[in-house]
Amino acid sequence: MTQKLTVAVLGGGSFGTAIANIIAENGVRTFLWMRDSASATETQSTRENRRYLPGQRLADGLEVTSDLTRAVSDSDLVFVSIPSHSFRAVTRQIAPLLRKEAMVISTAKGIEPEGFTLMSQVLEQELPDHAIGVLSGPNFAKEIVARQQTGTVVASESEALIQQVQSCLRSETFRVYANPDRYGVELGGALKNIYAIVCGMAAALGAGHNTQAMLLTRSLAEMGRFAAAMGANPMTFLGLAGVGDLILTCTSDLSRNYRVGYALGQGQPLEEVIQGLGQVAEGVNTLRQVKQKADELGVYMPLVSGLFAVLFEGEAIADVARKLMLGEQNHDVEYMGAD
Ligand SMILES: NC(=O)C1=CN([C@@H]2O[C@H](COP(=O)(O)OP(=O)(O)OC[C@H]3O[C@@H](n4cnc5c(N)ncnc54)[C@H](O)[C@@H]3O)[C@@H](O)[C@H]2O)C=CC1
Ligand SMILES: O=C(CO)COP(=O)(O)O
């Protein structure tokens, strides 16, 4: 554990709060920044994030603030836990406030529409002089704060960043693996959200274990095919940030994306589902980006196309499922790269 570090976590939603809490519990000076000052004051005084992690007492040492300058100006490490739709705006706000040596880590699992940009690429563009990295893995915030044993991955080209992140986060219940493949780790975390929607939808329609196993495995094949077409290493998807996170979110209603799929499977309209969620489900937007990119690159992604048809083209789920099962026979081949 590193005593001398100062760390800021930006974003007072469920994941930002969980990450900040682990670091503060490790005895590191930690700020949690929330943009809403009333929420920050309430969380700081009650020691509980009532909206996102109710019932969880936060570490005494954690300072919750809505003062962005106070949070980042002294910090050695800055974690950005802001959903992808607002990630760049917040990154721009911190650019003039950061220490020269500060290292910045994204925890967001989304894709910016312009240029198919992943969040650490946004960091790269907006903060070109800083070491940057990604934290991703099968990590429900709720289970992290409940001290369930959890593994995650930090990915960066900077060995110093990897070591600092490992040293401030590692604990008896949180293990942090290192991976040099930043792009692959980040892409896996974004892609799996699409398949969590698919699996939630299938569950609502009564899918059994056979169906669930087929969906999970074919999702991984699709992810690998897309990764290869994007020039990424599909082997990274065999780790925690790939298949690990895929299994987690495709099998649990703790996943917001899975819950979106489940509600859609029950016949609720998409807009209503999103409004009722009250939290971010990155998969809906990621689906749009990945469908467009897959079409551009000519990558065969039947689950992506099928989900897109249901969400945005008014196709009935039963019709899409039938087409998926009876898809072109020349695609009924199972090995990576050939199918
Ligand atoms: N919740 C989880 O278990 C995990 C979430 N993630 C990822 O972390 C990212 C954040 O997710 P959550 O914390 O779960 O989301 P959330 O929906 O719980 O909270 C989002 C937070 O971001 C804040 N926010 C939104 N726009 C903002 C802006 N313009 N300026 C300042 N703050 C803003 C909201 O006020 C809220 O506090 C997402 O990309 C998600 O995929 C990653 C791992 C696990
Ligand atoms: O990424 C997550 C866990 O690893 C959280 O998934 P959801 O965003 O679907 O809740």
At 118-161, the pLDDT tens digits run 999 999 999 999 999 999 999 999 999 999 999 999 999 999 99
Residues 87 and 188 in one domain: no
Contact by Cβ (8 Å): 285, 85: yes
Residues 130 and 199 in one domain: no
Residues 138 and 196 in one domain: no
Residues 168 and 35 in one domain: yes
Rounded CA separation 38/68 (Å): 14
Q: Whose CA is nearest to atom 8 of ligand 1?
A: 108
pTM of the prediction?
0.96
Residues 45 and 78 in one domain: yes
Tell me if 232 is assigned to some domain: yes
Rounded CA separation 25/29 (Å): 9
- Told to judge if 192 belongs to the known catalytic residues of this protein, a careful annotator would answer yes
Those residues whose C-beta lies under 8 Å from the C-beta of residue 118, and which sit 6 or more positions away, are: 111, 112, 183, 186, 187, 190
Rounded CA separation 302/134 (Å): 29
**Does 35 count as an annotated binding residue?**
yes
Ligand 2 mutation target, pool 249, 251, 258, most atoms within 8 A of CB: 249
**Does 323 count as an annotated binding residue?**
no
**Does 11 count as an annotated binding residue?**
yes
Residues 35 and 145 in one domain: yes
Tell me if 332 is assigned to some domain: no
pLDDT digits (tens, 9 = 90+) for 288-301: 999 999 999 999 99
From residue 240, give the alpha-carbon distance in Å to each of 34, 101, 237, 248. 29, 29, 8, 10
Residues 169 and 285 in one domain: no
Residues 97 and 143 in one domain: yes
Show which of 154, 180, 206 is a domain's final residue: 180
Instruction: Say if ligand 1 is within 6 A of residue 137 CB.
Output: no
Rounded CA separation 29/168 (Å): 10
**Does 280 count as an annotated binding residue?**
yes
52 CA distance to ligand 2 middle (Å): 14
Token duo for residue 223: 């992810």
Show which of 115, 146, 180 is a domain's final residue: 180
Structurally, the chain folds into a number of domains equal to 2
Residues 254 and 275 in one domain: yes
Token duo for residue 205: 């329609």
Show which of 164, 180, 196 is a domain's final residue: 180
ipTM: 0.97
Instruction: Say if ligand 2 is within 6 A of residue 286 CB.
Output: no
Q: What is the pLDDT along the chain (339 residues), one digit of tens a residue?
A: 545 899 999 999 999 999 999 999 999 999 999 999 999 999 999 999 999 999 999 999 999 999 999 999 999 999 999 999 999 999 999 999 999 999 999 999 999 988 999 999 999 999 999 999 999 999 999 999 999 999 999 999 999 999 999 999 999 999 999 999 999 999 999 999 999 999 999 999 999 999 999 999 999 999 999 999 999 888 999 999 999 999 999 999 999 999 999 999 999 999 999 999 988 899 999 999 999 999 999 999 999 999 999 999 999 999 999 999 997 777 777 765 545
Domain containing 222 equals 184-326
Closest ligand 2 atom to the C-alpha of 282?
8
- Find the CATH number of the domain harbouring 10: 3.40.50.720
Tell me if 336 is assigned to some domain: no
Tell me if 222 is assigned to some domain: yes
User: How far is residue 215 CA from its own chain's centroid?
Assistant: 20
Could you tell me which residues are beta bridge partners of residue 136?
153
Catalytic residue among 4, 100, 142, 192: 192
Residues 11 and 154 in one domain: yes
Contact by Cβ (8 Å): 140, 19: no
**Residue among 130, 127, 118 nearest 157 (CA):** 130
Residues 196 and 302 in one domain: yes
Tell me if 76 is assigned to some domain: yes
* DSSP conformation class of 218: H
Q: Whose CA is nearest to atom 6 of ligand 2?
A: 255
